[in-house]
Chain A
Amino acid sequence: MKRTLNALIALLCAGLALALGWAMLALPEFTVRLPVDVAANLDASGVAHPVTAVLLNFRGYDTLLEVAVLLLALLGVLALSRVADGHAHRPASAHPVLQTLARLLAPLMVLVAGYQLWVGAHAPGGAFQAGAVLAAAGVLLRLAGLLPGWAAPGRLLRGGLALGLLVFLAVAVAALLQGGLLQYPLDCVSGLILLVEAGLTLSIGLTLAGLYLASAEWRK
């Protein structure tokens, strides 16, 4: 009985895979050549890297909502971790070698994050990658027992979490008053994108680290 059921499920999965493959092959030819359009308008975007130009200029709206979704996810984790409160959030006594390594690596990771933020304007990099490196530094420090967990984030931490979204929203509203939604004025577009990316890096780093720090209580 169970074997027939498994075989049936496997057959259905194979059928779905075949249908998906067929649908991919049967897609019509693209009528809009997006890479050509991006390359043609790259000069007006304020950055020299096409991925960053799409993420923060041409399709800035998507990125804005993505950051809002990320913040909402962390709010959910924080709301859940409040239920399990009452555990001790003490830093653990990790191995001294790990602690020394974490102390050495954390400043380097902050440096790498800053570099990725800066280099994102003309090469692969940018706010999400820089934020992920920052978050990895936070997780490493937490694992080494050098950083306490987030039972209840304070005002400064909450401000940092919301900063990226707030900066992005402020820039969007300012651009809205000037012209259209997220249509940056041409003369200061590079500076605005760098400002938004800097805020996003900090907030994404804190949010991704918070997903780990807020849910992970130390067990001994």
Chain B
Amino acid sequence: MTLALAFDLLLVAALLWSAARALTIPDVFHAVVLFIVFGLLMALAWARLDAPDIALAEAAIGAGLTGALLLDAVGHLRAKRREPGT
């Protein structure tokens, strides 16, 4: 019981920390990585809340595919910054 409670509290703290860091960090790439971390932690939270369906969808779509799309967008932005005008 206490172990589960400690895990849940740790999970909540990590969720809040990763969300705040993802919003406040200046570098976009770091923000995207923190967003993916947030998504995976969120999937864990859904699993802890006995919602495995949502946990699966969150891990696959929220963290995985959205993360891939955001990383791709960061790559586009960097390529554009490196060679301006082309």
Contacts and interface: CB of A to CB of B under 8 A. Distances in A.
Interface of B: 52-53, 56-57, 60-61, 64-65, 68-69, 72, 75-76, 79
Consensus secondary structure, chain A interface: helix
Given A51-B53, A219-B75, A219-B79, A132 B69 contact: no
Given A124-B52, A126-B53, A132-B65, A215 B60 contact: no
Interface of A: 51, 116, 124-126, 128-129, 132-133, 135-136, 139, 208, 211-212, 215-216, 219
30 contacts: A51-B53, A116-B56, A124-B52, A124-B53, A124-B56, A125-B53, A125-B56, A126-B53, A128-B57, A128-B61, A129-B53, A132-B56, A132-B60, A132-B61, A132-B65, A135-B65, A136-B60, A136-B64, A136-B65, A139-B65, A208-B65, A211-B69, A212-B68, A212-B69, A212-B72, A215-B72, A216-B72, A219-B75, A219-B76, A219-B79
Instruction: Name the 3 nearest CB pairs between A and B, nearest first.
Output: A132-B60, A124-B52, A129-B56
A51 to B, nearest CB: 5
Nearest to A129: B56
**SS of B interface (majority):** helix
B69 A215 contact: yes
A139 B71 CA distance: 12
A126 B76 CA distance: 34
A111 to B, nearest CB: 15
B24 to A, nearest CB: 12
Contacts of A211: 65, 69
Contacts of A135: 65
Given A132-B57, A212-B68, A212-B69, 17 more contacts: A51-B53, A124-B53, A125-B56, A126-B53, A128-B57, A129-B57, A129-B60, A132-B56, A132-B60, A132-B64, A133-B60, A136-B60, A136-B65, A139-B68, A211-B65, A215-B69, A215-B72
Nearest to B47: A124
B55 to A, nearest CB: 8
Contacts of B68: 139, 212
Contacts of B69: 211-212, 215
Contacts of B76: 219
